[in-house]
Structure 1
Amino acid sequence: MATLEDTKIEDFSHTDEIHALPDIDSVIYQKANAVCSIGADAVSEEVKSLGGLETVAGSDVSMADGIYTIQAPIVIMDDSSFATYCEQIGVSSAENGSVVLNRIWDNINSNFRYKEYVPFLSENQDTMTLQNLEDAAATVEIPVLGFTKEPPVLREEYDNYALVQFVSLSTWKQIEKTIGNAEPDTYIRILSEKERTLTELSMIETELTNVLGHDISFEVENRVQEKIDNDAMLNGYKLIIGALCVLLAFIGIANVFSNTLGFIRQRKREFARYMSIGMTPEGMRKMFWIEALVIAGRPVLITLPITVVFVWLMITASYLNPMEFLAVAPIVPILLFIVALFGFVALAYYLGGKKILKCDLVEALRTDYMG
């Protein structure tokens, strides 16, 4: 991706050189803002079945005298790229006009995470009336070359309730003075038509930079490299958080060993009393095991239900498919942590119990009575 700052698409003089770069698919485009007017009868039957455009789009559309006023963002593509796009969707680009992105988000039957679209218009319109955002009297009627549900492959997100217009540069030159409101920057989207290494992608970036020269202020972004860098940062965050969790776990484990091994004398007297009332060493071992299970199991039994409830609430609030979460959830690390928790607690109690059972409990009880 290249962003040409403060550059109009009609002023960009390197279009042919960009398209001539080998084994790439490139699109040069600029964006503008407008609104369009359509009659109530132009809305598709699918939208009407959902309760009407007001129910679906709410305040994003307005209506007066049976005419809807709707946002109509304009994507201005260079003529060559526009012709290629029209060919891909089976629309003739021989005449000037626009391709309308004819879809609207069905927010009644789908959520924002898994959007489903229905046709916006009935596709009976031959023309579209575009209006200047700042001057309601400045309108232009533009032929509709075709309707599509598939936008061109650009790095763009489109409003859920807008009628996006894709036009060629030639068409834009005819309506520019009336519509205006073009954004200041022009964009270049370049896709490799074959598999390439990062080194080869960097070479494309260098070629693009050489074409643009020094007379234009621009910024180039290698999106593949950006993704690799982003993944590396996320892995770094995971490593830091994992290290913090391990540190907290070791602190907890050290506390268990400290409490278990630090009170050997006190435990000796305690079990000496138990022995005096008939408890056997086997009984003391069972008591140690029960204590170890309580010490290790209590935090697990408390935190697991809370974690499950919290995760369920977050999944519900974000409309995430639970299976998608489970596919990447750290279930194995959690299980390993729980096993390690039980293992270290059992080890601490094993070492402490071994010391207690090896000592002279009768002598410890006598010393306790003498004290």
Structure 2
Amino acid sequence: MNIVNKITLRQLKQNKRRTLVTIIGVIISVAMVTAVAVLATSFQDFMKQVTIASDGEWHVEYANTPANQLPTIQEDEQTDELVVTNDLGYAEFDGAERESKPYLFFKEMNEAGFDLFPVQLTEGRLPQSSGEVLINENILADTKTDLGIGTTFTVDIGQRVALNSEQPLGQETSIQYEDKKALEKLKPKQTKTFTVVGTMESTIWERSWSPGYTILHYLDPSTLNEGDKVNSIAKVNNVNSSIYDNAEHLAEQTGAEEIHYHDSLLRYYGVTDHSNLKKTFFSLIVILMLIIMIGSISLIYNAFAISVSERSKHLGMLSSIGATKRQKRNSVFFEGGVIGAISIPIGILSGIAGIAATFMFINPIIQEVANVDQKLSVVVTPISLVSAVVVSAVTILISSYLPARKASKLTAMDAIRQTQDVKLTGKAVKTSKLVRKMFGMEAEIGLKNLKRNKKRYKATVFSLVISIILFLTVSFFTDNIKKSLELTQADINYDIKLSGFEDVSADDIKPYTQLEGVTASTFIRTIYLSASVEEKKVPEVVKDYKQRPLDNGKYSYSVNLYAMDDESFRKYAGEIGKKTDDMIEADQPSAILVNEITYNDQSSGRVIETEGILTNVNETLTLHSIRGETEQKGLGEIEIAALTDQLPMGITSTSRPGGVDLITSEQMLETFLSNQKPEHARNTLYLNSSDPMKTQEAIEEIKPSHIRAYNVEQSRQQQERMLLFMSVFTYGFIALISAISIANIFNTISTSIAIRKREFAMLKSVGMTPKGFNKMINYESIFYGFKALIYGLPISIACMGAIYVSLRHTFTYGFALPWISILYVIIAIFIIVGSTMLYSIRKIKKQNIIEGLRQENL
């Protein structure tokens, strides 16, 4: 170790407080970088586990693959395990007690299928040979049957087909009725004998509305005939973007009819075949890493800049005894290396520990709210560690470069005179006369102090600006990620949907609304109509979608007119701030227009959010009933009573260009129709329940066969789970950014105040009172805050614009500034600056004036 480095180490030891502040700043920065990297990998792993637990661990499905081509897929270098499945079909179930579930559904798979798919054994064992089956435990609980373990039974298995079209029907399609008669039939194909060897929980192939109880049969691929076609499902050994090209090649080689990817799992490997999604993902990663690095660099740079400022006399002494520019520059780099060697390991451990503590706190909440067995575990990968180390090291290098360059240019005379930081001219410290008139002499002195110490002033303002940018851009980023997630999720705001009602009265739906556990209900009559809309009221996206108007220059819109029961409508109108009395008493029939649509544009691959129609309150729409493809009958005008983007329970958005949703009450609908009966109408009862599955069972016991029940609890839970996970990520990340920002500000201001001990002692020596001194400090805080906001807000808005443009590769919706976050920032800046300066001043308040004037270092 050379003499200059030895002297640098001695200086670090002698100035323990400054060294400690610098180390803490770097530790916080490294901890943030590490926490973000570990949080990302841990969250990614958690979502993989949740998806595997619910949908199975597979990546590519080759539908209808010839049996003789299975070895080709099995022997492919990318295939790790191969699941072979086949839907045998349905059999009549004599023991069925529910009219909506009269079948047994037989699905067969090889041994790998029982391992890779979420088959939860409850009793007995898994099938191991042909003829052995595993039955859904609900068969024994819900029906009258003797299909216990060890039972052998013979059934005729066939295919469900629609009566009119002969179209095959699967487990996703419930039984449809008309006039209480099923609109399907079962076409038997083969007779099979099976032996029950175990029971299992409900599987992913059976929903609450599925018409058949699932039975899993063991499939031995060697028994398949050459002409048989099965579904081959591959788990690949190395998940990367080459999976798509390889799957296309294998499908062409084997003659598989279709390829299905496990997109919900692949996206958590960072693999997607959507180019727009890739652009969004990578551009957001770049923006996010730049934000983190800028915040870290600003924090560490200020620490090193202050260090060099304090060490200026020491560096000048080195220069006076012959130290070269290179030696002085390297002394700062050496200091950075020492600080990094201490801080980076501690910062990495602190980041990991912080994430572990966070997971320990939120895991019980996630498991309770999201109803999952999986936990967030700390996953530290070599890539995340190396990334944290490299980003931290580069950050320290960049942060120390400018101070090192400054140190190399410092001459001995400048250092001894201490003139490099304060260079005064009359123009430099000139202030407006208005400042003294409005705020007094203390404000003028405070402003002159800031101008006199321009470098420290700029460093502090820079720290504040960076903090503003960090908080607002990250807040905007996370809010928009949540918004994007919401756009991709089904807008499910109910638990159970009952359809199939014909002419219905309140007495007809009363038995369902009074079931135990039902917390809310809404009965909605949906009428499908059309409207002709003037071109000036049609948004551009609709024109692009529709391409050309009708002969009369107007555009044809499809209209969903929803009529809610009067009580539910009154409650909904109140939620959006509309009084129903005004609507009901009016002579003109009126409705509330849901004027926001979200749809997936297939041509661009983007999710787009836009207005449905350009209209205002009190304007009218002329509605027509639809008869056939072209014939329309005018029904009259309906007034738009309110515009909203809020949907009531049971109603989902139109989600298509050229379509709008109107919501009115049953009473106003009768007035509008004037006893006319529309051609296309549907009646639906929507229920919310404290226990949807139990309510579903109760409904099945009392409903007639022509009423269909659809339970969306599983889909709704998945949506809430995704939003919860995103909220955890969002607020955790904002907490980290807020911590780094506050630490940055506190470090910069407190150190700057400590350095100004001599200056403050001089002001007191010439007669400044404690009251005047506090007043000066308060005005300095205000000047810092205003200056930071003047620069920080416009730059933050520009960064938000960059994030918005990045997201537009995949999602299209209006740009909206986060006004609440901006208000929080404005308040927080003045609170943090003011409290930090008061804290720092309190520490030097009782110092002796003589000691302060003699003070040269911390």
Which TM-score bucket, shorter chain as reference? 0.3 to 0.5
Task: Compute the TM-score of the two structures, normalised by the length of structure 2.
Answer: 0.23
Structure with greater contact order relative to length (CA < 8 Å, sep ≥ 6) = 1
TM-score by length of 1: 0.44
